[in-house]
Chain A
Amino acid sequence: MNPPADVPPVVAVIPLHRLTAREMSNTVLALFGAPPPASTPLPGEGIGANGYESATSIGTMEAEAYQAASEAVAADATTRLPSFMPCTPATAADEQPCAVKFIDTFGRRAYRRPLLPEESADLLALYTNAHDTIMLPFADSIGAVMQALIQSASFLYHREIGPDAPVQEGDDLLLTNFEIASRLSYFITGGPPDDTLLDAATSGDLTTPNGLNTQAQRLAMNVPQVAGSIADFSRQWLELDTTYTAKDPMVYPNFDSEKPQLLPELRATIDGVLQRNSPLSTLLTDPSIYVNDATAPIYGVPPPGSMDLVKVTADATQRAGIFTQLAFLSVQATAFGSHPVKRGKIIFKNVICGVMGSPPANVAQQTLPRLPTQTTRQYYEQHEKNPCASCHKQLDPPGFAFENFDGIGQWRTTEIGQPVDASGSLDLPSGTNVTFQNAVQFMTELSAAPDVEMCFARQLARYGTGLASDTDLGTAQALLKSTGTGASVHDLYLALVQSRSFRYRKLADGETL
């Protein structure tokens, strides 16, 4: 198959989205210096059509949850008022002017754009009503303003138009300075724009590629924060939600102490790759692992004598990159063993962007008992003998590559007394065929394949711009053209913000400017 011809990046309508729970939590942390109290859980989000989390509407349940969270956040914040107030009223006469000042400075950070005059006036009226009519003290009256800001549409949704109207260029709309500031900040840091970024938006710097790049590079200096965002992307990319990952205690008795380390190890790995400015291929080849006393035994390395994660180099004949680390191997598994289909499906669908044929009609999924004499591979190879083969011949082989790892990622060379067979082959979308004897060899082959870099760019486009899985190609091509092949993870991630798909949108039906 020839590589697809160049297609232009797609500029799409950006549907209204509310903040995800992670964004909301980071936003509250940035604004109030403390995350929202755990006693008032924030509404979560489903997985959108493109495979990435998507928080859309706010119904009664969500609105009630935001109300409870806003009250808890304000109650906590009013005990620490001086830490984020622009002024401290010394006398009763100072209170109202201080409230005015608070509304404008804090309101700009909360709405991620300057307040409109009517917004400032309404917020001041709320403060005055709380203070003078409901007879609340100054701090609680400020708390009322905080509650209102947090429950506002202008806070909860991503649509920070600001004073300027979007500029029309042909059929496309260039996002306004404040919209770009937010999009940039949430993409790179997971949180709201800081004052410097809002100032740059006020000066009109963000609608030019150079101005945008300056701010992107500045935000990206905070490597741990960027690592947090790329880890968030990777968690969704590789479907590594650990919430419901549980293991049979008879088989894996220590998993409960190991589980909390899975996603932190992923994040630490990404942080390390960013610190060294390493190329994407490193994510698939680096034998570095991050262990603490709970997880070192799984890797067969000496416990570091710490519950903090410590970087160690693993046996390079066994481990190569994130797919041989514990998060992927434990989550993409069953409660008591490995699961080649789950592992293979992630590689096929999300790492090489393989396209599966349609399943044959009316094939009933079956639960076949696993015989005690069957290895995991022998059990799943039954797929090859029935109509399931049409899909599973694509999904299962890349999963067999990881058969040297059990359900929590421990190395094994035998299973029920038989030698493990981790060999196989896989056709890549570009037409190349890779063959392998084990996971390390498979990863080495994959890391050199252009398919993986292209697929990574496509996944990034879906995550960063919300593009659908069938409209991301042009954006990915443009991204790779700008970075060149073999670019660092850092550069790939940042290149997306220059994309037309990131900076432009289409006018929605019924929308007037």
Chain B
Amino acid sequence: MSGVSRFSRRALLKGASATALLPLLEADVARADCIPAGRKRLIVMHWNLGVLENAAPDLTLPGSMSALEPYKSDLLIPLGLRDKLFEAGYDRTKFPQPGHSHVRAMLIAQAMIPMVTATDWYGSAPTESLDYFVGHKLQQATSSPYPVINLGVLFNSNYSGCPSWEAAQVEARPDDDPYHAFDQLFSGAQMTQPDPAIEQRRLLRKSVLDYVQKDIGRFATKLGTTDRQKVDAHLSAIRDIEQRLTPQMISGQCTTPTLGAMYDVHNQDNYDKVLTAQIDIGVAALAAGMSQVLTLHASSGVASHYCPTWLGYPSFDGYITDAGDENSHHAISHGNNGPKLALDTWFFQKLAYLISKLKSVPEGGGTMFDNSVVLVTNCMDNGNHHEVYNLPWLLAGSAGGYFKTGQALVTTDVSHTGVLIGLCNAFGVSSAGWADANYGGELPGLHA
């Protein structure tokens, strides 16, 4: 594809401003021979506002989960998870339903730090979240360019809580623009001939970032502990950006996704298209060895800023609620009826699509899915309760045989940290110090 290097050059020369010119991909995954062998992958996918139905103890799937029927033997569904850690630090007299604020805590395995004042019902993370914790550890071993490929849909325009934290107190909000994500991940990856103008640009960026690092280092000395943590995370973000300036040559005959026609990524009507594109880009980036961790933020935590128009629920249907407008994802969730089931069904279909995509990448004698695990999280039980028990989480994939798939694991009120710790173990990453051990270790029954 001669087009790719042309776009790369323009993107590198003009920075992000060039992305608006890029046609969007109809992504397809990279070819098998570019895949670094034997790497495990963690994919975290979350949507929120709960789900109405979950699997039965015998793994019978309800109608809204029927898209997962072909992958039943790949599923591991722990029933009865509860975020006890979050509850312990949460003041229900301030805001009775903890579900929304829980979105920021669900990938954390320690007590949250209350923010600034006691009236605050959010809270800030004391550590990296699971995806960044595992991602950083794996990155140290493989020197892949990104700790996490962090992608989302309609996320940053109406922020309502992010579960990913790249450091203590520093949220890692996703890139919710597939054009931009594509540009950043794939442009420049195929160049074999260094272009002198691009090389000059690279050296300049490096020189500027070197100064910025010195400045941040000096600045940090004047701060208290909490602020210094934030600035340290800023510094490591700058180091990450600088590290990526070293040209990333994708080895062998690896191909980047195909480019296609452009659309408005912040229009709710294109929600399905954007999530599909992000899944395609994310899987292609994993296949190309950009990272071993992919996080897909398939909805925001409050989700009152869009209506599932793509499922036939227009913004104005004549109903009024105090839970956001009309047919918003949030308002529909409080209804817990037909529209909610339709929305749940759609999210499970996207999950099935993700699994099919992972299974379409040949790796070793099988597919990339064999070495992967998808963790699906949700900040609530169902949409109306907004509670943090009976969390409808699930795993898909065994991560190279670590997890005992093909089962529902029946528990009652066990800490969600048992799943997070299990995932650390599956990747050979010690959770000591990261997870609060008072809430137990790996959930028994997960491991094959």
Contact = CB atoms under 8 A, between A and B. Distances in A.
B335 to A, nearest CB: 5
Contacts, number: 211
B211 A123 contact: yes
A126 B208 contact: yes
A341 interface: yes
A67 B241 contact: yes
B272 interface: no
Interface string B182-216: 00100000000000000010011101111110111
Interface string B154-197: 00111100000011011111110000000010000000000000
A370 B319 contact: yes
Contacts of A44: 156, 159
Contacts of A211: none
A49 B224 contact: no
Given A60-B166, A61-B173, A134-B207, A13 B15 contact: no
A65 B326 CA distance: 34
A63 interface: yes
Contacts of A161: 222
A144 B334 contact: no
Contacts of B316: 248, 250-251, 335-336
B231 A339 contact: no
A129 B212 contact: no
A90 interface: no
Nearest to A155: B215
B410 interface: no
B231 A153 contact: yes
A240 to B, nearest CB: 15
Interface in B286-331: 305, 315-316, 318-323, 325-326, 331
Given A68-B17, A71-B15, A367-B321, A134 B226 contact: no
A337 B386 CA distance: 28
Given A58-B237, A61-B175, A367-B331, A49 B208 contact: no
Interface stretch (A24-32, A189-197, A256-264, A504-512): A504-512
A57 B241 contact: no
A128 to B, nearest CB: 10
Contact of A49 (B122, B174, B237, B240): B122
B446 to A, nearest CB: 31
Interface string A114-150: 0010110011001001100111100000001001100
Contacts of B325: 334-335
A152 B224 contact: no
B1 interface: no
Nearest to B322: A341
B382 to A, nearest CB: 10
A144 B225 contact: no
B323 to A, nearest CB: 5
B359 interface: no
Interface stretch (B31-39, B113-121, B365-373): B113-121
Contact of B211 (A148, A469, A470, A510): A148
Contacts of A129: 207
Interface in B11-28: 15-17, 20
Contact of B170 (A59, A153, A154, A468): A59
B233 interface: yes
Given A154-B215, A334-B326, A367-B319, A130 B223 contact: no
A130 B159 contact: no
B17 A153 contact: no
B238 interface: yes
A255 interface: no
Contact of A159 (B96, B159, B223, B234): B223
A248 B315 contact: yes
Given A13-B224, A470-B118, A509-B224, A39 B20 contact: yes
A61 B172 contact: yes
Contacts of A123: 211
Interface stretch (A180-188, A356-364, A409-417, A489-497): A356-364
Contacts of B157: 243
A49 B117 contact: yes
B72 interface: no
A382 to B, nearest CB: 11
Contacts of B119: 49-50, 468-470
B93 to A, nearest CB: 6
B227 interface: yes
Contact of A364 (B170, B215, B241, B334): B334
B16 A153 contact: no
A449 interface: no
B447 interface: no
A16 B227 contact: yes
Contacts of A469: 117, 119
A48 B116 CA distance: 9
B10 interface: no
Nearest to B332: A367
Interface in A432-476: 468-471
Contacts of A67: 15, 205, 209, 241
B204 A130 contact: yes
Interface in A51-67: 56-65, 67
A38 B222 CA distance: 34
B158 to A, nearest CB: 7
A346 B204 CA distance: 50
A322 B222 CA distance: 43
Contacts of A58: 170, 230, 233-234, 237
Contacts of B71: none
A270 B157 CA distance: 28
B324 to A, nearest CB: 10
A215 to B, nearest CB: 24
A148 B17 CA distance: 19
Contacts of B118: 470
A93 to B, nearest CB: 23
A63 B240 CA distance: 10
A72 B15 contact: yes
A46 interface: yes
Given A470-B119, A508-B226, A367 B158 contact: no
A157 interface: yes
A148 B334 contact: no
A192 B117 CA distance: 28
A151 interface: yes
B84 interface: no
A15 interface: yes
Given A152-B212, A470-B119, A63 B234 contact: yes
A217 B6 CA distance: 55
B384 interface: yes
Nearest to A361: B96
Contacts of B233: 57-59
A335 B319 contact: no
Contacts of A126: 207-208, 210-211
The residue among B115, B234, B238, B335 with the most chain A CB atoms within 10 A of its own CB is B234
A422 B214 CA distance: 62
A46 B230 CA distance: 16
Contacts of B150: 61
A46 B104 CA distance: 14
Contacts of A56: 169, 230
A253 interface: no
A370 B316 CA distance: 13
25 contacts: A15-B226, A59-B234, A61-B175, A67-B241, A68-B15, A71-B15, A126-B210, A134-B200, A134-B203, A134-B204, A134-B207, A136-B204, A153-B215, A153-B231, A243-B157, A246-B315, A248-B315, A358-B96, A364-B385, A367-B334, A367-B335, A469-B119, A508-B225, A509-B226, A510-B226
Query: Nearest 4 pairs between A and B by C-beta?
Result: A508-B224, A510-B225, A49-B120, A511-B224
Given A44-B156, A151-B212, A367-B334, 19 more contacts: A15-B227, A48-B116, A57-B169, A57-B170, A58-B170, A58-B237, A59-B170, A60-B241, A63-B234, A63-B241, A65-B16, A67-B205, A130-B204, A148-B212, A153-B216, A334-B326, A335-B326, A336-B316, A511-B224
